[in-house]
């Protein structure tokens, strides 16, 4: 299942994002969306988790949590 994570701090790394989701199950991929000119985070990213059950738990548990002072929004991606 593809998961969209929004409202990330611009300083959040893919490794930090990965560790957040790995606490809830297997992670297939983790990608921050970067500005093509500056290579800095645009404040959102995607995580893919192969097991839908684990993905749903991660979405429920992580949506609205504070990460680096920002309240992240987590939902099923397209």
Read off the CATH number of the domain in which 29 is found. Answer: 3.30.70.330
Instruction: Please check whether residue 27 is in contact with residue 57, taking contact to mean a CB–CB distance below 8 angstroms.
Output: no
Q: Residue-wise pLDDT tens for the chain (78 aa)?
A: 999 999 999 999 999 999 999 999 999 999 999 999 998 999 999 999 999 999 999 999 999 999 999 999 999 998
Count up the domains in the chain and report the number.
1
The pTM is what?
Answer: 0.93
Which structural domain range is residue 41 located in?
A: 2-70
Would you say residue 75 lies in a domain? no
Would you say residue 78 lies in a domain? no
Would you say residue 45 lies in a domain? yes
Strand partners, 74: 5
Write b or e for each residue in 15-53: b if 16 or more Cβ atoms lie within 10 A of its Cβ, otherwise e: eebeebbeebeebeebebeeeeeeeebebebbbbbeeee
Would you say residue 76 lies in a domain? no
Per this entry, what is the length of the chain? Answer: 78
Instruction: Please check whether residue 4 is in contact with residue 63, taking contact to mean a CB–CB distance below 8 angstroms.
Output: no
């Amino acid at each position: 299942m593809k998961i969209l994570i929004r409202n990330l701090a611009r300083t959040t790394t893919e490794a930090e994002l990965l560790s957040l989701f790995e606490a809830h199950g297997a992670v297939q991929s983790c990608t921050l969306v970067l500005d093509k000119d500056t290579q800095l985070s645009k404040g959102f990213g995607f995580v893919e988790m192969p097991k839908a059950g684990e993905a749903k738990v991660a979405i429920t548990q992580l949506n609205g949590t504070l990460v680096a002072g920002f309240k992240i929004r987590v939902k099923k991606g397209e």
